[in-house]
Amino acid sequence: MPGLFETTELVLGVIERWTPKGRIAARPFRVTRAHVAVQIAIGAAMLALPLLWPERFFCLTWGFAFLLLDPICCAKKGRSLLSQLASGDNTRLVALLVAGFICGGLWEAWNLPARTK
């Protein structure tokens, strides 16, 4: 995770340097209570399912924290991806996606020659 966030900061620096006004602007996303409730419910389900059936739903453990905590931060007027999307700023979302692509590619490139695979 630290490598992903460090790569995100690098990508944010590139975006700030090469884009007009230093951010990626888009149409603001209207956040309603229903959006927040649905995200919290999905996050809670992603937490409960691996606890009930770990062999089937273990992959959901990576996403529950974001889907459970980010809408709560948005509802409390904190710093969250949802509130940034609501303000029309897609910079951090794009940076996280690009950083995930870079780190995932490096991970697979390093695993390719591994004997154990």
Same domain for 70 and 44: yes
pTM: 0.79
Q: Determine contact, residues 74/86, Cβ cutoff 8 Å.
A: yes
Same domain for 101 and 67: no
Same domain for 32 and 56: yes
Q: What is the extent of the structural domain holding 107?
A: 1-26+89-117
Per DSSP, helices labelled H in 19-60 are 33-52, 54-57
Same domain for 93 and 81: no
Same domain for 39 and 18: no
| pLDDT computed for residue 13 by the predictor | 94
CB atoms within 10 A of CB 68: 18
Give the count of domains, the chain: 2
Looking from the CA of 99 toward its CB, the CA atoms found within 13 Å total: 21
Model confidence at 52, in pLDDT bands (50, 70, 90)?
very high
Same domain for 57 and 41: yes
| pLDDT computed for residue 31 by the predictor | 87
Q: Determine contact, residues 4/99, Cβ cutoff 8 Å.
A: yes
| pLDDT computed for residue 54 by the predictor | 93
